[in-house]
Amino acid sequence: MDEEQSVAETENQAEEIKEPEKIESEPIKRSFIVNKDNPPMYEQRPQEKKSGKKLLIIIVVLTALLFGGYFAVRSIIQPSPPVTTTSTPVPTPAPTSQPVLNRSDWSLEILNGSGVTGAARKIADQVQILGYLVVKTGNADKDSYPLSQILVKKELESQVELVVADLKDIIKIASVAGELKDGTASARIIIGKDSI
């Protein structure tokens, strides 16, 4: 009987083992059946539907980023060509034969007609710095000249305006007083009271 009892228990145990057990667990939302002979079988539950709007928004954002990046890289790698404008060439005026002032060709007498001591020497020093040759300084025939003036040799009359313009920051020469007939200088400048 012990043998029969032991066989019966073994059969009962076999039946218990063959009977599938169903195990459910709350944290795991899937159920499965455990069977020693067969691997576990999972029961599929229907998935929750995800919002299509979220997916569409993600696609739009990614597309915008791709296009923006493309154009940013394109502008860095291949900058836009410079804007060119066409202009009408301006004709260059034909050179005219105007006299050119060569300071070293001029020799000057500078005479003080202002009555201020040392005025001739002061102006002579400044004129020499420009490159003119000063051959004489001294006093004029009178010390009451109201305006400064210049006398020039006849052959240099065409260039005297160039000299007057060149010296305007040093001495105010109001007029060309006439022709220099005596002396060896190219011109004589008489300093008046207006230049002091």
Number of domains in the chain: 1
pLDDT at 47: 56
Q: Residue 128 belongs to what domain range?
A: 106-195
* Strand arrangement of the beta sheet that strand 187-191 belongs to: 133-139, 107-112, 187-191, 148-152, 173-179
d(CA 173, CA 163): 10
Q: What are phi and psi of 9, to 5 degrees?
A: -65, -40
pLDDT at 150: 94
Residue 42 pairs in a beta bridge with: 32
Q: How confident is the model at residue 174 (pLDDT cuts 50, 70, 90)?
A: confident
Instruction: Give a yes or no: residue 36 inside a domain.
Output: no
Q: Which H or E element spans position 33?
A: strand 32-34
Instruction: Give a yes or no: residue 63 inside a domain.
Output: no
Q: What are phi and psi of 115, to 5 degrees?
A: 90, -5
28-85: per-residue pLDDT in tens? 455 555 555 655 555 555 555 556 788 888 888 888 888 787 777 776 776 666 666 6
Instruction: Give a yes or no: residue 174 inside a domain.
Output: yes
Instruction: Give a yes or no: residue 131 inside a domain.
Output: yes
pLDDT at 9: 61
CATH number of the domain to which 172 belongs = 3.30.70.2390
Instruction: Give a yes or no: residue 134 inside a domain.
Output: yes
- Asked if 103 contacts 131 with a C-beta cutoff of 8 angstroms, the reply is yes
Instruction: Give a yes or no: residue 116 inside a domain.
Output: yes
Instruction: Give a yes or no: residue 111 inside a domain.
Output: yes
105-152: per-residue pLDDT in tens? 899 999 999 999 999 999 999 999 999 999 999 999 999 999 999 999
Residue 34 pairs in a beta bridge with: 21
